[in-house]
Amino acid sequence: MKFQCEAYTKSGDPVSEIVEAATAEEAIERLRRRGMFVLSTSEAGDAPAASKTKSGKRTKSNPKQLAVFAREMSVLISTGTPVMESLVALERQTQSETWKNALARVRAKVEEGMPLSQAMADQPGIFDPVSRSLVAAGESSGKLDTMFERLAVLSRRQAAAHSAIMGAMIYPALLLSVAGIVLVLMLMFVLPRFGGLFETLDTPLPPTTKILMVMSDAMLAYWWGIAPALVACVVGGVFWARSAHGKAVRDTAMVRMPKVGVLARAFATARIARLLGVLLESKVPLMEALALTKASMTNANYARLIEAAETQVTKGESMSAAFGGSDLVAHSVCEAMRNGEQSGRLGKVLLNVADYLDEENETVIKSLSTLIEPVIMISLGLVVGFVAVSMFLPLFDLTASAGGGAP
C-alpha cells in the first residue's frame, strides 16, 4: 500500500512524501529512520480531512477548548472507559458545533481502526502537532490518561498566559480609544463654536489656540479625505505586518523594546521551557521535541534559536550551549538547562523553570496593569485640559484686558 505522509525534517522544513509500506506504522518508522518527524499519514489518493465548518471555512480551536477536551478524556480513560466510548460521550455533551463535528470525524476514524493520534492528525485546525505527539506517546507507552492530563495542564497554562496578556491590553486600549474619540469630537463640534466667538471678539489668539483652530478647520474641510486616508493606513499597516518583512520587524521589535521586550522574552522562554518539558517528560525524542517546539513558535527569532539548538544536538553538543549563546534566553534559564542535561532530568527541570517564569510573568503583568491605567487616565486628563485651557485662555485675556481698562 502507498501512504501519503506529512512530516518535518531535522531542519524543521515541512515535507510531504508517498511511502510504500504494508501498514501506516511501517511507513512512519521508515521516515523516522531517515530523521523525520511524522505528523500524519493517509492512504495515497485520499485527501486528509480538513478541519472546516459547514460554510467551508477553516477553523481553529483555542487552548481553553483543548484543555477541556484533554481533561475530560484523561478522567474518562483513567476510570477505565474505552477511547471510543469517551469520544462518544464528549461528542454528545459538547456545545461547540466546531468541536462536535471534529470529534465526530475523529470517532469515525477510530471506529475504522485508526489510532487516535492519527485520527486527530486529520483535524490539523483543531489539534496541533504537540497535542498529537503527546497522544501518540501515550498510545505507545500505554499511559494515554497521563498524556491527556499533561496536555490539559499545558493547554490551561497557554490559555492563562493568553488571557493575562489580553486582559492587560483591553483596558488601556479602551481608554486610548475613548481619548481619541473625545479629542475628535472636541475638534469637530466644540471648537468650531468657539471659532465664531473668537471672530466676533477680534482679539489676538494664543499660539496653542491657533494650532487647535487650524486642526479643527482642517478636519471639517477635509474629513472626506482624512477618514479614507486613516482607513488606508490601518489596512496597509495590517498587510505590511503580515508580510515577511513586516513579521521580521515586528518580531525583532517585540523582543528588543525597552520594558516590553523583557516581558516578551520571558513569555517566549516560558513557552519553550513548558513545551520542551512536557514533551521530554512524555518520552518524546529530543529532536522531535525541538521540531515541535519550533513549529509552535510565533516569533521568528526564537524559531531560529531553536533551529540552532537542533544543529548543536545533531553535532552531539548540548542544547543549552545554543541557548546560552543568545541574549533571548536569560542566563539563569540556560544554567538550569545545563544542570538538567547533566543530571538527566532535563524535562523536569524545564517544567520547574516554566512554572517559575509563569508566576513571575503573571506578577509583572498585574504590576504593569496597575501602573498603566493611572498613566493613561492622567494623560487623557492632560489632553482634555490642554484643549479646554486653550479655548478659554482668549476669554480670560479679554476679561483681564477689560478689567484693566476700567476706570
Please report, in tens digits, the pLDDT of each residue of the chain (407 residues total). Answer: 677 777 766 655 667 777 777 777 777 777 777 777 776 677 665 444 444 433 334 445 567 888 888 888 888 888 888 888 888 888 888 888 888 888 888 888 888 888 888 888 877 778 888 888 888 888 877 888 888 888 888 888 888 877 777 777 787 788 778 878 888 888 888 778 777 777 776 667 788 888 888 888 888 888 788 888 888 998 888 888 888 888 888 888 888 888 778 888 888 888 888 888 888 888 888 888 888 888 888 888 888 888 888 888 888 888 888 888 888 888 888 898 889 888 888 888 988 988 888 888 888 877 777 777 788 788 878 887 888 788 777 777 666 665 544 44
Put the strands of the sheet holding 2-8 in their side by side order.
14-20, 2-8, 37-43
* pLDDT at residue number 401: 61
Helix (H) or strand (E) holding 5: strand 2-8
In sequence order, which residues have a C-beta less than 8 Å from that of residue 356 and are 6 or more positions away?
none
Residue 371: what pLDDT?
76
Residues 6+ apart with CB under 8 A from 208: 386, 389, 390, 393
Q: How far apart are CA 351 and CA 153, in angstroms?
A: 11
How far apart are alpha carbons 176 and 166 in whole angstroms? 15
CB 12 within 8 A of CB 295: yes
**What single-letter DSSP state applies at residue 58?**
B
Amino acid identity at 362: E
User: What is the residue type of 309?
Assistant: A
The distance from CA 30 to its chain's CA centroid, rounded to whole angstroms, is 34
User: Residue 402: what pLDDT?
Assistant: 57
| CB 132, CB 120: distance < 8 Å | yes
- CA-angle at 344, arms to 340 and 347, nearest 5°: 60
**What local confidence, expressed as pLDDT, does residue 397 receive?**
66
Which residues on adjacent β-strands are paired with residue 7?
Answer: 15, 38
As a whole number of angstroms, the longest Cα–Cα distance in the chain is 112
Q: Determine the residue type at 221.
A: A
Indicate the SS3 state at residue 233.
Answer: helix
The pLDDT, as a whole number, for residue 403 is 55
Distance (Å, rounded) from C-alpha 361 to C-alpha 155? 17
CA distance 302 to 326: 10
Three cell numbers written together for 284: 518524546
**Which runs of consecutive H residues, i.e. helices, occur in 128-206?**
129-141, 144-185, 191-201
User: How many residues make up the chain in this entry?
Assistant: 407
So what's the pLDDT on residue 141?
76
pLDDT of residue 47: 40
